[in-house]
Amino acid sequence: MEMVSYDEDPEFSMVYENFSEVSDRKAAVKSPSAEDKKGTAAEPDTGVKICRLVAVGLGLMCIIQAALNISLRLAHFSLNNSLTEERDECKKINLGIEARFRNLTEERDELYRTVYDTTVIIQNLTKERNELKRMLNDSTQQVWVSFNGSFYYVSSTKKTWQDSRNDCLQRGADLMIINSQEEQNFARRFRKYMWVGLNDKQTEGRWEWVNGNAMTTSYWSEGEPNGGRRENCGNVKNFEYDYSWNDEDCSTSLFWVCEKKTFP
């Protein structure tokens, strides 16, 4: 605590000066002129009393001043103390907040990483799902039925005769060639209006199979073939009947049946 010398204290200086004045006055009172001493014997007692009163008053003021000074300094000290405590408390709270903030930042970054990882997983799973869908689609389109040394595949979509043939070729097969009564009955059992590997595109009326062999045994429906130059591709149409074939415009979209030899 800062100490203030009495000399620097203006109040005290004043008091001191006043006191000096009083002393001077006292001195003046104590050493009256010869005439005074003679005439008024009670007067000096009253002056002394006044002087003492003034001195006591000044002393009291001094004490009050000192007391005020001390209490002010105490108040200042305690205020300072409580402010320091509050500041320290605030510092602690701030440290807590900073730590919480760091934790939350870390948690946020961790969540960002998790979201990113999850996004990557979802992307990979989506790719895998699409690949599996494609494979499933392919496999369902590749149900091959074995019969008498060949595998047969009947489409679930419709195409022109040439596109149908191309599809079979892509599958390592060709459109079905029917060269026996058993095979004809087998074809009818699919119960589908479908292209087979028969055409007379090259020469009207000269029907041949996709392997280049001429058609020898035929199972035309009644009245077929009737299309002349308009209908040059063959199909199994009336599968309810033994004789079920029909000639048709090659650009017609129909189901189709592929055949590939078990041991080529």
Out of 231, 244, 245, 250, which residue is the one contacting ligand MMA (CB under 6 A)? 231
Does 200 contact ligand MMA by CB under 6 A?
no
Out of 192, 246, 250, 259, which residue is the one contacting ligand MMA (CB under 6 A)? 246
Q: Please provide residue 262's backbone torsions phi and psi, each rounded to the nearest 5 degrees.
A: -60, -45
Strand residue runs (E) in the chain = 145-147, 150-154, 174-175, 194-199, 208-209, 233-236, 245-248, 255-261
* Residue among 173 and 198 whose Cβ is closer to Ca ion: 198
Does 259 contact ligand MMA by CB under 6 A?
no
Each residue 207-226 as x (binds ligand MMA by CB under 6 A) or -, in order, gives -----------------x-x
63: which 2 tokens?
A: 């004490």
Query: Nearest to Ca ion by Cβ — which residue?
Result: 247
* Residue among 167 and 231 whose Cβ is closer to ligand MMA: 231
Distance (Å, whole) CA 183 – CA 204: 25
Does 253 contact ligand MMA by CB under 6 A?
no
Decide if 245 contacts 236 (C-beta within 8 A).
yes
Q: Segment contacting ligand MMA (CB under 6 A): 38-46, 80-88, 95-103, 243-251?
A: 243-251
34: which 2 tokens?
A: 């010869």
21-24: long-range contacts, CB 8 A cutoff, minimum separation 24: 22/51, 22/54, 22/55, 22/58
Out of 188, 238, 246, 255, which residue is the one contacting Ca ion (CB under 5 A)? 246
Decide if 150 contacts 190 (C-beta within 8 A).
no
Each residue 207-236 as x (binds Ca ion by CB under 5 A) or -, in order, gives -----------------x-xx---x-----
| Exposed/middle/buried for residue 44 (C-beta within 10 Å: 0-12, 13-18, 19+) | middle
Instruction: Name the residues that contact Ca ion, by CB under 5 A.
Output: 224, 226-227, 231, 246-247
